[in-house]
Amino acid sequence: MTLKGACLCGKTTITVDSDCEDQIVCHCLGCKKSSGSAFSTNIIALQKDVTIEGPVKTFEIKSPSGNLVSRVFCDNCGSAISHTSAAFGESQAVQTGNFDGFADIPFSAELFVKDRWAGIPPIPGASQVQTMP
């Protein structure tokens, strides 16, 4: 299955050439800040299956684990596109808010639930992981 998405302004496109059966919610501080919200929603895909085209910038920062996280944003509108880390190996997290149709894709896990906002309940059926697995 091929998934196609775009940032808010449409200048940066994302294509993922793999099946996506579930999503992950991340409550870590980095994901909160990059999404401008209480969490981010992502799929994990092999880097070789992800194509990002258009104007992007990359921002690198160390995570609390000490791993370097590289976050990719649209250079024009600032939409968060993707991020990589040694913790993902040959995969990367791709933000699902840039794709139509993810409202019906279930969540398999919530990460960094220790940092979840108090008013947000756990997602039924999703594994609850305190930090990064």
Instruction: List the chain domain ranges.
Output: 2-115
The pLDDT score that the predictor gives to residue 131 is 83
Annotation: CATH topology of 2-115? 2.170.150
Structure confidence by residue, pLDDT tens digits, 15-60: 999 877 789 999 999 999 999 999 999 999 999 999 999 999 999 9
* pTM to 2 decimal places: 0.91
Residues 6+ apart with CB under 8 A from 111: 24, 25, 26, 27, 28, 129, 131, 132, 133
Mean pLDDT of 66-79: 94
CA distance 128 to 72: 26
- Lowest-pLDDT range of 9-18, 60-69, 78-87: 60-69
